[in-house]
Amino acid sequence: MEHSASWIQTLSFSFLLIASIHLFHALIISPKLTLNHQHVRVKKLPPLPLRFNSDGNFKILQVADMHFGNGMGTRCRDVLDSEFDYCSDLNTTQFLEKMIQLERPDFVVFTGIPYSYSIVYTVI
């Protein structure tokens, strides 16, 4: 019984020591960091502004209502019967990749519903 009590005391002391060192560093040492006797301040960088191309254009690719499902397991709707066996979410991903490569947009915006409701209900 004394052996288990010894382990509990050792773990408790170790935890208290680590917590004390962390608190000391956070409250005392960290705010007083200096470099060549000058206080060091971290400046938050502003977000980069959107910029036009050299030709004065700014191309946006909007991708709306992807309704992704479950990869190969999610078949396409509204396609010809001959295309049905080979059409899935993977085709959509490949199509989107080609569009980005061909159009080379400056900004891609995903709007609408990115996933299929049937998949969400299956998970829930």
pLDDT for 40: 63
Task: Give the pLDDT confidence of 20-48 residue by residue, as tens digits.
Answer: 888 877 777 665 655 556 666 667 777 77
Residue 26, beta-bridge partner list: none
Residue 76 and residue 91 in contact, taking contact as beta carbons nearer than 8 Å? yes
For the chain, domain boundaries = 2-39, 60-123
Tell me the pTM.
0.45
Task: Give the pLDDT confidence of 54-94 residue by residue, as tens digits.
Answer: 888 899 999 887 766 666 666 666 667 776 666 766 677 78
Residue 34 and residue 40 in contact, taking contact as beta carbons nearer than 8 Å? yes
